[in-house]
Amino acid sequence: MDFTPIINQVVGALWYLIPIGILAATLKSAWFKGVAGEFIVNLSAKLFLDKETYHLVKNVTLPTEDGSTQIDHVIVSKYGVFVIETKNIKGWIFGNPNQKTWTQQIYKHKNKFQNPLHQNYKHTKVLESLLGLNENQVFSVVVFVGDSTFKTEMPENVTYGKGYIRFIKSKVQPVLTELEVKQITSKIEVGRLTPSFKTNREHVKHVKTIVAEKESRQNCPKCGSEMIIREVKKGQNAGNKFWGCSKFPKCRGVVNVT
């Protein structure tokens, strides 16, 4: 008996699964998710932000200590420079501005990821330093573009999808002149940031110091006061460092140095 017609029939019936499989793999791929995130930010900027006022610059390369880093989107306007970090993470999101890591939860599966506000804080500081701006002129915005739900209260600059537009539009106080907006936009656009930075190591040191200061700052778990690095004076732990409450001896709050 000849099986060829049957085989042909089976192959004929199954062959459409191949493009479906490719499509499904594409939709699941990190590449597509990245592109989708990009797309949401680009499209909503085009639709909801006036082109005359807001200038979107994509893929901005910034220098860092160990090379360079990429910011997907920077929006320059007289209301400030907005540095946008997109996060493609789905599920329940738990986090607060001061934590080093945030948590993603899908059913019972938990996953930690770097606090995007801290990540973007570095970007905003580098940009401030390179452009000679201050913290009232540069804003950090984090946009979650996956299918996610915040399960803890988030600051107003952490948003879903096109929600970041609302944050940008909430800034209505002009902090830059039209001329400054033009100069900043062209500086960022032509990518003149990297070479100038390489010749000027001061920026790196400057940013490193402020970031380190911010990341290590502690508040007393007992009374909320500032904490100070202290050293154990006696006993077998002598010489070890710890955070002690600045209100000592009135308050005896301590935190381990991590």
Between 17-28 and 30-48, two packed helices, what is the crossing angle to 10 degrees? 70
Q: How far is the CB of 220 from Zn ion (least distance, A)?
A: 3
State which residue, 171 or 247, has the beta carbon closest to Zn ion.
247
- Distance in angstroms (rounded) separating the CA atoms of residues 55 and 52: 7
State which residue, 135 or 231, has the beta carbon closest to Zn ion.
231
State which residue, 211 or 228, has the beta carbon closest to Zn ion.
228
Q: How many CA within 13 A on the CB side of residue 214? A: 16
Q: How far is the CB of 152 from Zn ion (least distance, A)?
A: 25
Q: How far is the CB of 254 from Zn ion (least distance, A)?
A: 9
Site residues, Zn ion (CB under 5 A):
220, 222-223, 225, 245, 247, 251, 253
**Are the C-beta atoms of residues 138 and 126 closer than 8 Å to each other?**
no
From residue 14, give the alpha-carbon distance in Å to each of 6, 23, 28: 12, 15, 22
Q: How far is the CB of 217 from Zn ion (least distance, A)?
A: 14
State which residue, 175 or 251, has the beta carbon closest to Zn ion.
251
Q: Is 147 helix (H, G, I), strand (E, B) or coil?
A: coil
